Amino acid sequence: MIKFILRRIFLQTLPALFLTVTVAFFLIRLAPGGPFSSEKNVSPEVLKQLNSHYGLDKPLLIQYFDYLKNICRGDLGPSFKYPGRTVAELIAEGFPVSVELGTYALLFSLLTGILAGLLAASKPGSARDFVSMIISTSGICIPSFVLGPLLVLLFGLKLGLVNVSGWNSMSDRLLPSFTLGMVYVAYIARLTRAGLLETMVQDYIRTARAKGIPERVVMLRHALRGALLPVVSFMGPAAAGLITGSFVVETIFSIPGLGRFFITAAFNRDYTMIMGTVVFYAAVIIFFNTIVDITLAILDPRLRSRLNEKT
């Protein structure tokens, strides 16, 4: 396992981060305008001093290599939009909120998806199966930028049950978590259902039934563990997607997460903030995928020998 982790870091993680930084850096710089192009009443002399202060007057390759050196030292640079504050400070301020939102959404999608998958697999082909899949699949059919405003209109403005913006009380977490997590309910439900249907025909399940163990116990205690392996494998991209894909939901519900800083930086061409967020989220995604591989190896010992072969 240690060998796998080391090879994953040096052969996959670092090259992937390097490629992400390189592509993002040059794509951002190719966009028209600059971080100070929208400033009003700024003389050419002041604009020249601003570019000189932040090193934007240097050749593009020099800026690129300077940024790589700063990243290696853990320095993400200052923010152009928020003077006096660094990108690391802004990430430290907004990321915990995004993590909290993503955690609530992940728990909701896991509990709802696994339950829907259990109900569907308990009687495949029945009305229960079809109803469970239809309800869970509705999350894919309705995107978050449509579902969020509908929930705000119904539960916030019409019924007045919850606040439509902010991040203060537990009730403020309900609608954003539901909106963000609903997309992944269908995937988890279908993976759980398929895994259970495949596991329930295995020999050890027949043995458990032959011993007279109740069907409910057979499904929950014996079959569910093996059936959840595809769900666990999906959790890496899902967890990363929930945390990094909350920009739209944070905007709809006015949540002070990292998405707010990223969107503001994109509109204002805050190069360092955009780059810092992209690099940070790339590291988060790679981290989750590595954790999932390790968890799969723990759940299924047969995978341990395959991990090193793949890397």
> What percent of the chain has a predicted confidence (pLDDT) above 90?
10
Predicted TM-score of the model (pTM): 0.77
d(CA 181, CA 160): 22
pLDDT over threshold 80, residue 21: yes
Bridge partners for 86 per DSSP: 78
> What domains, with CATH codes, occur in the chain?
92-310 (1.10.3720.10)
d(CA 90, CA 276): 10
pLDDT over threshold 70, residue 307: no
pLDDT in tens, 197-209: 888 878 777 887 7
Q: Once rounded to an integer, what is the mean pLDDT over residues 281-287?
A: 81
pLDDT over threshold 70, residue 123: yes
89 contact partners, CB below 8 Å, separation of at least 6: none
pLDDT over threshold 80, residue 139: no
The dihedral region occupied by 124, where left means phi > 0, alpha psi between -120 and 50, and beta the remainder, is: beta
pLDDT in tens, 163-189: 888 888 888 888 999 999 988 888 898
Kindly indicate the confidence band of residue 305, based on its pLDDT and cuts at 50, 70 and 90. Answer: low
pLDDT over threshold 60, residue 236: yes
Q: Which residues of 72-96 are buried (b: 16+ CB within 10 A; e: fewer)?
A: eeeebbbbbbbeeebbbebbeebbe
pLDDT over threshold 60, residue 40: no
d(CA 289, CA 5): 12
- Start-end of H helices in the chain: 2-8, 14-30, 44-53, 60-72, 87-122, 127-141, 144-151, 171-199, 203-210, 215-217, 224-227, 229-244, 247-252, 258-268, 271-299, 304-310
Q: Once rounded to an integer, what is the mean pLDDT over residues 120-148?
A: 83
